Amino acid sequence: MIAAAAHSTAPDLDAIQAMRVDLAAAYRLIHRLGLDDSIYTHISARLPGEGHRFLINPYGLRFEEVTPQNLVTVDIDGRVLEDPMGLGINPAGFTIHSAIHAARHDAICVLHTHTVAGVAVSCQEEGLLALNQWSMQFAGRLAYHAYEGIALDLDERARLVADLGDKPVMVLRNHGLLTCGRSVGEAFKLMHNLERSCRAQLAIQAAGAPITRPSAAIATKTAGQYAAGYDRIAVQGAPDNEWAAFKRMLARTDPDFAQ
C-alpha cells in the first residue's frame, strides 16, 4: 500500500509561482530538445508547502503550449482540483507520477519521456551501459521496471515504487525513461543526461567498432562525483547555474514560458 504524502506548512505564494514557472520551463525545454511525444508523457511537481497537491500538464496541449497559469492542480489520486482550461489530465500518465510522489517525499518533480533513444535502450536486455562519462553517473543509481501495458491499473503503482526504491532514475522496460528530482531543475538535468547517454550508446553500438568499457570501480567513482554535485545544490543550497542558464535560453526563445 502506498502511503499518503504528509501535510506541511502553509504554502508560500511566491514559492508556488516559482514552482509553476520552473515546471513550465521544463515542459518547454523538453519540447525544444525534441524529447516530447505529441500530447503524451508528463512532468509533475509537488506544490511547495502542500504534501498532497501536484501540478501537471493539461491533457491535449503540446509541451510548447504549457504556461505557469494553465497547469492543472491534482491530488495524490489524480483528482482534478484546479483546471484553468477545462482539459483535465491523462489518467494513465498520473498513475506513474502519483505512485512516486506518494512514496518518495524527496521526489519533488517526476519527469517521464518516450524518446526514440530512450525507448530503444529500454528494449535492450542489458539496458543502459556505463560506457562514457554521461552514462557512468547512473552507475548504481538506475532502476528498472518491467512493462505491464499502458499504466491504467492502479495496482501497478506498488510495483513501480518497489522497483524504483531510492534511485533517482528508472528505465521503464519497452516504454521509456523516468527521473525524480529534489527540484524541477534536478529532474530535468538528470533526464537531459540520461537521454544523451541513450543516444551515445546507440551511436556506439551502431559504429560496430570494439568498445572500451571503463571498470566498475571507475563507473562507481564517477557516479559519486556527479551525485556530490547534485547534492551541493539540493542539500547545501549552492546555486544551480546550469538550470539558470537553461531558463535564460528560454527567456530569449520562449519569452511567454514564465507568463
Q: b/e per residue, 56-71, with b = 16+ CB within 10 A?
A: bbbbebebebbbbebb
Q: Can you give the pLDDT at residue 150? A: 86
Beta bridge partners of 82: 73
- Mean pLDDT along residues 152-177: 94
Structure confidence by residue, pLDDT tens digits, 9-37: 556 889 999 999 999 999 999 999 999 99
Q: Among candidates 103, 111, 113, which has minimal Cα distance to 55?
A: 111
- Mean pLDDT along residues 108-126: 98
What is the SS3 string spanning 205-223? Answer: HHHCCCCCCCCHHHHHHHH
Residue 162: pLDDT over 70 = yes
Beta bridge partners of 111: 43, 179
Q: Are strands 169-172 and 142-145 parallel, antiparallel or unpaired?
A: parallel
- Mean pLDDT along residues 152-176: 94
Residue 5: pLDDT over 50 = no
Residue 157: pLDDT over 50 = yes
User: What string of DSSP letters covers the chain?
Assistant: -PPPPPP-SPPPHHHHHHHHHHHHHHHHHHHHTT--BTTB-EEEEEPTT-SSEEEE--TT--GGG--TTTPEEEETT--EEE-TTS----HHHHHHHHHHHHH-TT-SEEEEE--HHHHHHHTSTT-S---SHHHHTTTTSEEEE---SSS--TTHHHHHHHHHTT-SEEEETTTEEEEEESSHHHHHHHHHHHHHHHHHHHHHHHH-S------HHHHHHHHHHHHHHHHHHHTT----HHHHHHHHHHHHH-GGGG-
Mean pLDDT highest for which of 47-61, 69-83, 207-221? 207-221
Q: Can you give the pLDDT at residue 79? A: 86
Residue 239: pLDDT over 70 = yes
State the pTM of this model: 0.93
CATH of 13-235 among 3.40.225.10, 3.20.20.370, 3.50.50.60, 3.40.50.150:
3.40.225.10
Pairwise pLDDT comparison (79 vs 239), residue with the higher score:
239
Residue 2: pLDDT over 70 = no
Residue 55: pLDDT over 70 = yes
Write down the mean pLDDT value for the chain.
93
Q: Can you give the pLDDT at residue 9? A: 53
Q: Grade residue 96 by pLDDT with cuts at 50, 70 and 90.
A: confident
Angle between helices 184-207 and 241-253 (to 10 degrees): 90
Residue with cell 513501480: 160
The fraction of the chain above a pLDDT of 90, given in percent, is 82
